[in-house]
Chains A and B, each alone.
Chain A
Amino acid sequence: MTTTILISIIMTVVGASTPILLAALGELVVEKSGVLNLGLEGMMLIGAVVGFAVTSITGQPLLGIIAAALAATASSLLFGYLTLTLTANQVATGLALTIFGIGLSSLMGEPYVGKTVEVFGSWFPDSLAEHPFLRIIFGYSPIVYFSLIMILVVSYFLKKTRAGLILRAVGESDLSAHSIGYSVIGVRYAAVAFGGAMAGIAGCYYSLVLTPLWSEELTAGRGWIALALVVFAAWRPSRLLLGAYLFGAVMTLELHAKAAGFSFIAPELLAAMPYLATIAVLALISLHRSGGTAAPACLTKPFKPTA
């Protein structure tokens, strides 16, 4: 009995962690290239609504996910055009993208409020996915496995490939990268687009897997937690995995406490926990980090090649 509960707890934690892991992984690559995109929440909402709408119309969750990734990428390229080509302030543009995403998703989602789609669940046969013990390995949505594969891919890309090295160079020293002939703006556009795609998939995880029911602003600020996660991970993919699962555990505290019948803690306090925990974690890591931060040196600095 207790193992069953434990397995359910672990599975809800993995469920809550996956979207912030994906969104943070995309943002990590963006920030490694020297760009800060604060529009994560907006891009996730655009992904959530597009994924839901396309799945609801076609009945094909895979099409929904692809559409979500494309739509969020398109919105990230809008951010890219403003900040990279037009050298607009990255902080302000990211905020604008979030406000835009909130508005656009509620507008596009209006016909779908209260409607449901079938949960985009495990692809494994029921004998594995519904098995009392093995479901802890096989019982997840394909997006969960995708997120784990992407952690490996991004780690490998950043550490071992030439392209990854160029991306890091662009983020650490844009002028040097430019002077040896790399396209700083081109690399940054690619990174921003990747971040958009990841945020889109993260967003539709909410609308297709976690709560397959459309409601406005269903990401509830998780995009901002994903941004904090990148800082927590000190821009390292492996620590991102750890951080995402820790945050996922805190985010599901409310559910578990309710299930366990803890009524002496106000539910509002539990609902505020992920945000309080994020602040606490941000404070703790800077206590432990003496001297400079691990942030890429060119973060938020616009780049304009001198012709």
Chain B
Amino acid sequence: MNIEADAVKIRGLHKIFGSTVQLFGGLNITVKSGEFVAVTGPTGTGKSTLINLISGLDFPTKGSIEVFGKDLSKLAESERVSIRAKKIGTVFQKPHLLSRLNVIENVELPLIFSGSPEDGREEIAAEMLELIGLSKKKHLFPCSLSAGEIRKVTIARALATDPALLLLDEPTSDLDTSTIDILLLLLRGYNYLHNRTIVLATNSLKLAKLASREIRLRWPELVLEAIQG
């Protein structure tokens, strides 16, 4: 990975759903490595879609998205999966945990797919759970966790591989105020101390203010890219 390269470079992005819904309207964004960017905007403007596009789960109708200098839509499936597993950590809007795996095994999952050495996986997953304050519940199954705890596990899961790019889609939706404060510290530290790139899609002004830059999406097109500070 070229550390100097832009983490995310979006050019002329269009995403069309059916024949009526057109998102982004030729959006251009560059997110530099180590930057913390918040993507905000009303519901339906495409925040989650943008996160999915950056993570290579979805493809643009027009335009290009480069992640660490590589256009994911032009890569072979195996290469795209490899980049997603090794360099990108994602917290999805819906916190899907695997019901047949316990908490620590759920956090271990991305480590398996990224090819992390087997003997260190459990230790890393345990550290992540310690970090978010769920180490006592590591052997429980998702069905016995609260919505907020499940959300915390998905955050630990996204951080487990120490990804160069962390994508968060409404990460605080099930969390209480004190946990949100802890998460804010965690994200700030992750960005500042580890120099990791964070793209955060949120409706929370509190969370958006944490970022060094806010990209505001508006229906039907992006019209503003405001730089804070």
Q: Do A and B come from the same complex?
A: no
B residues apposed to A, CB below 8 Å: none
